[in-house]
Structure 1
């Protein structure tokens, strides 16, 4: 729970970045979130989508790359629909090439 609360807090106080679109819904109204994990040097490690950030982060915490994540650099993009988040995820993975994502296309 603490990790989820910290991610929400960071997203609420963060300045909008290239990854955070101002027109996206507030996190309490969103149906899905596209997230990006970076290491302490700013290298993009992983991009994903979830409808439950808390559950997904708990699942990721068992991954072998999790210890490399700098949570202060995590970027969250909230979407109205899961479909729009999945489309954004696919584009982001293709364009940004995170090192831990599998690219089946």
Structure 2
């Protein structure tokens, strides 16, 4: 995954109304990541402010994230935290996926979809999620970008 480590990656900080740091994280697409947090985290309604700082690579952003969590002690982080442990966040997690959904798709189409998603630098799950968000009219969401079809391949 050498290519993905060289992608610009954002370090984001989430603050409450009083300016208290709640969470520090990293993401290649922080807007998508923040939407996930808004659906999953019970503490999300407390978020009133955010900051985003870009780094040239994921490894640089990860190093900055570890340092920020250790030094700034956000109240909701567990990974890299010196004050919280695994399991402490279970009560703060609200799964938007109460049960798995099943969709019947022919195997060859599912395989082609996986290849196309990979060519587009993403995953089937992300494309499906983005497509659903776009279809139901989530604000600011655009339809997924379809990768170009290779010459000689059926469209």
TM-score by length of 2: 0.45
Match of residue 78 from structure 2: 102
Higher relative contact order (CA 8 A, sep 6+): 1
Is 2:47 aligned against 1:69?
A: yes
CA separation in 1, counterparts of 2:75 and 2:15?
10
Q: Which aligned segments of 4 or more residues in structure 1 are displaced greater than 2 angstroms? A: none
TM-aligned CA deviation for residue 103 of structure 1? 3.8
Aligned to 2:34: 57
CA RMSD of aligned residues (A): 1.4
Larger strand percent: 1
Question: C-alpha distance in 1, partners of 2:59/2:71?
Answer: 18
CA contact (8 A) 2:70 2:80 kept: no
Q: What is the alpha-carbon distance in structure 2 between the residues aligned to residue 41 and residue 104 of structure 1? A: 24
Give unpaired runs (5+ residues) of structure 2: 1-6, 82-155
CA distance in 2, matches of 1:79, 1:104: 19
How much has 1:58 moved relative to structure 2?
1.0
Measured in 1, the distance between the counterparts of 2:69 and 2:80 equals 11
Number of aligned residue pairs: give it: 74
TM normalised by structure 1 equals: 0.66
